[in-house]
Amino acid sequence: MSRLDTRQKLAILADAAKYDASCASSGAKRRDSLGGKGIGSTEGMGICHAYAPDGRCISLLKILLTNSCIFDCHYCINRRSSNVRRARFTTAEIVDLTLAFYRRNYIEGLFLSSGIIRSSDYTMEQIVEVARSLREDHDFRGYIHLKTIPDADPELIRRAGLYADRLSINVELPTAEGLKRLAPEKDVRRIEGSMETLKGAIDEGKDAKSRFRSAPAFAPAGQSTQMIVGADGANDGAIIARADTLYRTFRLRRVYYSAFSPIPDASAVLPLRRPPLMREHRLYQADWMLRHYGYRVDELAASTDAAGNLPLDVDPKLAWALAHRALFPLDVNRADREQLLRVPGLGVRAVDRLLAARRQRRLRLEDVARLTVSIAKVRPFLIAADWRPTVLADAIDPRTRPAAEARQLELFAA
Amino acid sequence: MRVVSLAEEDDFEGWRDAARALAGARAPATDISWRVGESVVGLFDAASSQPLPPAATFTVPRAFISLAESVICHSDPERFALLYAMLLRLRDRPAALDDAADPLVQRLERLAKAVRRDIHKMHAFLRFREVATPEGPRYVAWFEPDHHIVRAVAGFFVRRFAGMRWSILTPELSLHWDGEILAEGPGAARGDAPSEDPTEEAWSTYYSAIFNPARLSVGAMLKEMPKKYWKNLPETALVSGMIKEARGREAAMVAASAGTDGKMARAKADLGDTEREGLAAADAAERRLEPGGNALAAWEALLAEAKVCTRCHLYKHATQTVFGEGPLDARIMFIGEQPGDQEDLAGRPFVGPAGQLFDRALVEAGVDRARTYVTNAVKHFKFEPRGKRRIHQKPDGREIEACRWWIEQERMLIRPPVIVALGATAGRSLFGRAVTISRMRGEPHVLPDGEAGEAWVTVHPSFLLRVPDADRKREEYRRFVDDLHRIGERARALA
C-alpha cells in the first residue's frame, strides 16, 4: 500500500468520524491563553465555526486516530470485515493539525476517537498522548473531547480526564439485545461499568475542587454518550426510557441520538433504508422536554403511538397538550411556571419573560405576542386579559384537520 | 435643541456621561440630538452644544448597563435616543426593564440581540491567514461586521490567541496584537489581507469529508451560516458541488450496500446495457460464492436472538422457535403459516405431512428445495391441547404482526428475487393486509414496502390435505404444482 499524505489521511479519518453526532464544545470551564505560552480559550458557550450542507455544525476537529479496528460491529463502517480504506495518524500529526486549524480560527478544539488497534489499553494510551502533548507541550487551552474505550485501564481514563474537557462512551444501541446482535464484542455491562467509573471520578474531581482551589479539574464538561436510532427494533418509548435511566444513573450531560444512516459496504444484518430524520428530531425534542421542561418518562411514553413511537407529524409537546386538553386554556396572568412550560410554543425563555412582565402589567394578547415566537401557535392554549380562545384545541391538531381536497370542478356538471 | 457629540460610533462612556447628566436634569428625549464625530451643525440646530448640566446621581439596574453596552454597537442611528428614553423611564420606575412586553424594551432587546448575533458570528466566521514576517508568522484576518462591534470582540481574540501575533482588518477599524499589547489602526480594505493560506486546502478536505450526504439539509445550514458570510470563508467554495453530489452519493451508498461493492455501483452509472448485464452476472456469481460478506454470521446472530424471542405470548407453550432454513443466496423464499406439531418438535420448518406434500410438489415442479429458503410467518406453534393431541390453531393478527419483524430481517438478509406466500397467513404477513388467494395467485405482485423482488401468492400445502373430494384434491394439487412451476421459471428468468 502506498504511503498516504496527511490530507489523504484526513479525508479518510474525518469521513470515518462523521457518524458521531456530538460536536458540542459547550459546558467547559472558562479558561483563556493569557499569561500562557500557547493559544486557546473556552468561554462556556460553544461556537460553531462552520456548517456543513447537512445542517450540522462544525465546531471541533472530529477525527479518528485510526479507522482500523479489531471489533466487528455491524452498524460501523470501520468494522473488521468492512473493506474501507484504512489509515492511521501519528499522535504528532493530530497535534499539528489541531494547532494549525485552531490558529486560523477554524475550530474550537479536538474531538478524538479511534478504532481499536492491538488492545484497548494501547489505543487509549495513544488517545491520551495526543491530549497530553496538546496540553503540556503546546500549552493548548482550547476544548478537548476524548472518546474513551470501555475496557481501558482506569488509570488511563483518569489521565484522560485530567487533560480533556469532556469524555464520552457510546452505549451504541438502546437495547442490550441489539448490542449483542450488532456489536458482538461489546458488552452493555462493561460500557455501563466504565460510565460508572467516570461518574465517580468526575464527582470526586468536583468534590476536591470545592475544597482545594488547586485541585486538578477532571473532565469539567462532564460525560456524554450516543445511541443509534433505527438500526435495531427499539421504539421511541424504549429509547427515551433508556436515555432517562442514563441521565439519572450516570448524570450524563447529553445523550445524542444518531439516526442510522446507510453506510457504504454495510453489513447485511442492517436495514438498508434510513429511518426518517424527523424521528431523530422528535427524539431530541422529547429529550429536551425531559431535561428542561419537567416532563416524566411515563408522560412522554403516553404520547407515543401503538408501536411505541413518537408521532412524526406533530411535536411531542403538542401531542402531550392535545392529549391533556382538560388542563388548557391557562390564564397567562395567573398560571405558575411549571404549567406555562407545558404550553406548546412557549419555551423556557419566553416563560421567564412572561413571568417578569406580568409583574409590571396585566398581559394582553398583543403583549404575549411580543414575547413569543408564534402567537398563532400558543393562542389556543392561553387566556389573556383581553383574550379567550374560541377555537378548540382540537382544531389546531393537524391530524384532525380535514385535508383540503384538490379537485377540479366540472364545468358542465349537472 | 441640544446637540451631544460622541467620539466614536461605539462610544459607550461618552453616551453614559452625557445621558446621566441630562437625565439627572430631566431633559426630555425629544430635545436632544445625538451625533457621532466632529458634528456639523445641522439646519435645525439653532441652539447647538450647550454645556452639560451638573451630574445628578441615581442608579439603574445592572441589566440596563449590559443592554446599553450592546445596543450602542448597533448601526441604527436612533440607538442613542432610544437608550436615553429608556434611561428616563428607569429613573422613575427602576423595574421598567422587566416589562419585556413594552414596545420600547422590546425594540432595545431586538437591537441588542442583533449585535450579540453579529459578535457571535464574528467569533465563529473570522478566518486567519498566515503571513511570514521577519519576526515569525503573523496571522491576518479580513472581516466585514454589520455593526460597530470590532472593539467589543477584541477581548475575545486576545484571550483566545494570546500566544500568537495577529491582525484583524475591517472596513472601519483594524486591530493588531503582538503578544502583549493591543493596538488600534485605521480601517482597511480586503486587498490588505492575504488572499490565501496553504492550510485552507486541508481545512477544505476536512469540511467535505465530515459532511454526511445521507443527511442533506441545506435550509439548516443557510439559517446558521447565511450567504453574506460566504465570501470570506474558504470552505464555502465547495458547498454547491457537495449538495449536487449528495443525492447521487447516497443512492450509490445504498446501492453499494445492496450487494455490490462501492466501486462497482459507481462504475455502473456510466455503462452500456450489455456491459451492465455482464456485471450483473458477475455480481450474481460472486453472491453465490460469498453470500453478502458476513451474511452468514448475521443470520446466525439473528437465529440466536430468535431462539429467545418473547415478542408475543406464543413462546410460553411452544417447544421452540422454528426459524427459517436454506441457503442465504436462495433465489426463492417460501413463507408458510406457522410450524405444526412435528415441526415444533423437530425445530425445522415443513417436515410434517404438509411439508412432505410440499416437497413432492416441488420435485414435480422442477424446483430444488435445497436451493430455496423456507420459513414461516409465525415462528412458534400455536395449538389447543385436546387429550394427548395438540390441535393446530390459526395465529391471530397480533401474533402475525409481532413475528413480522423476523420475516423482515430474514428478507433483508437474503434479498430473494422471488418471495412466495403460502396461504392467507403468509399473505397477510407479507402484504400487511388480508389477501384473497384465489384473486392473487398465478401472477407476480409488487412488494408493498417497495423492496426489490416479486411477490407470489399460492395456497398452503396443508389446504390440499384438507380437501375432502378426491377429484378436487387432484385438481387443486395440479394447480399448486403449476404455480410452483411458474415460480421456478420466474426465478430462473430473474437470475
Nearest to A10 among B205, B214, B221 (CB): B205
Closest approach of B257 to chain A, Cα-based (Å): 5
pLDDT digits (tens, 9 = 90+) for B17-50: 899 888 888 888 888 888 887 655 555 554 455 6
Nearest residue of A to residue B130, measured between CA atoms: A104
Question: How many Å lie between the alpha carbon of B473 and the closest alpha carbon of chain A?
Answer: 41
Model confidence pLDDT, tens digit, residues B287-323 = 443 444 566 777 777 888 888 888 888 888 888 999 9
Domain boundaries, chain B: 2-121, 126-192, 295-494
Q: Cβ–Cβ of B409/A269 closer than 8 Å? A: yes
Q: CA-to-CA distance for B278 and A102, rounded, in angstroms?
A: 51
Cis bond leading into B349, ω under 30°? no
Contact residues on chain A for B154, CB-CB shorter than 8 A: none
Specify the 3-state DSSP secondary structure of A293: coil
Element (H, E) at B208: helix B199-209
- Burial grade of B331 (CB within 10 A; 0-12, 13-18, 19 or more): buried
B266 has pLDDT over 70? no
Tell me what pLDDT residue A28 has.
73
Minimum Cα–Cα distance from A351: chain B residue: B100
CA distance B130 to chain A (A): 8
Q: What is the CATH number of domain B295-494?
A: 3.40.470.10
In this complex, the residue of A6, A139, A357 whose CB is nearest that of residue B202 is A6
Best of A257, A272, A354 to substitute, by most chain B Cβ atoms within 10 angstroms, is: A272
pLDDT in tens, B431-484: 988 889 999 998 899 887 777 789 999 999 999 999 999 999 999 999 999 999
Of A220 and A113, more confident:
A113
Q: Cβ–Cβ of B216/A54 closer than 8 Å?
A: yes
Of B355, B362, B374, B371, residue with least CA distance to B486? B362
pLDDT at A328: 83
**pLDDT for residue B324:** 92
Report whether pLDDT(A239) > 50: yes
> What is the full DSSP assignment across B295-322?
HHHHHHHHHHHHHT--SSGGGGTSSS--
For chain A, domain boundaries: 6-275, 324-396
Residue A221's contacts (CB-CB under 8 Å, 6 or more residues apart) are A26, A27, A28, A29, A143, A145, A165, A166, A253
Cβ within 8 Å, pair B203-A101: yes
Distance from CA of A389 to the nearest CA of B (A): 20
Residues of B in contact with A38 (CB under 8 A): 163
If pLDDT is split at 50, 70 and 90, which confidence band does A272 have?
A: low
Q: Do B214 and A74 touch (CB under 8 A)?
A: no
**Chain-chain contact of A33 with B161 (C-beta, under 8 angstroms):** yes
The CA distance from B175 to B151, in Å, is: 8
All three cell numbers of B371, joined, read: 436451493
Q: Do A360 and B219 touch (CB under 8 A)?
A: no
Asked if the model's pLDDT at residue A399 lies above 70, the reply is: no
Residue A131 · residue B166 · CB < 8 Å: no
- pLDDT at B483 (0 to 100): 94
Q: Do A51 and B221 touch (CB under 8 A)?
A: yes
Calculate how close chain B gets to A3, using CA atoms only, in Å. 17
CB contact under 8 A, B159 and A33: yes
* pLDDT score of B278 more than 50: no
User: What gap in Å lies between CA B50 and CA B35, rounded to an integer?
Assistant: 14
State how far residue B340 is from chain A, nearest Cα, in angstroms.
27
Question: Is the pLDDT confidence value at A219 over 80?
Answer: yes
Quote the mean pLDDT of chain A: 84
Phi/psi-derived region of residue A139, left when phi > 0, alpha when psi is between -120 and 50, beta in every other case: left
User: Do B434 and B459 contact (CB within 8 A), yes or no?
Assistant: no
Residue B427 in this model has a pLDDT that exceeds 90: yes
Contacts B239 to A, Cβ<8 Å:
53
pLDDT at B151 over 70: yes
Q: Number of residue pairs across A and B with CB atoms under 8 Å?
A: 232
Tens-place pLDDT, residues A147-170 = 998 888 888 988 999 999 999 988
Tell me, what's the pLDDT at B292?
44
Predicted-complex ipTM score? 0.84
How would you classify residue B432: left for phi > 0, otherwise alpha for psi between -120 and 50, otherwise beta?
left
- Give me the mean pLDDT over the B83-90 stretch: 93
Least confident residue range of A33-37, A362-366, B168-172: A33-37
* pTM assigned to the model: 0.70
pLDDT(A404) > 60: no
CA distance B148 to chain A (A): 21
Contacts of B221 (CB under 8 A, 6+ apart): A51, A52, A53, A54, A55, B239
- With contact defined as beta carbons under 8 Å apart, do A43 and A91 qualify? no
The whole-number pLDDT of residue B51 equals 67
Model confidence band, residue B247 (pLDDT cutoffs 50, 70, 90):
low
**What residues of chain A lie within 8 A of the CB of B290, using their CB?**
none
Question: Among A28-32, A68-72, B93-97, B256-260, where is mean pLDDT lowest?
Answer: B256-260
CATH topology of domain A6-275: TIM Barrel (3.20.20)
Mapping DSSP to helix (H, G, I), strand (E, B) and coil, where does residue B244 land?
A: helix
pLDDT higher than 90, residue A213: no
A60: number of Cβ within 10 Å: 27
B162 vs A7, A34, A53: nearest CB = A34
Q: Between chains, do A53 and B126 touch, taking CB under 8 Å as contact?
A: no
Asked whether the beta carbons of residue A14 and residue B120 sit closer than 8 angstroms, the reply is no
Nearest Cβ partner for A58 among B159, B210, B256: B210
Query: Chain A: nearest CA to B489, how far in angstroms?
Result: 27
Using the beta-carbon criterion (under 8 Å), do A39 and B160 form an inter-chain contact? yes
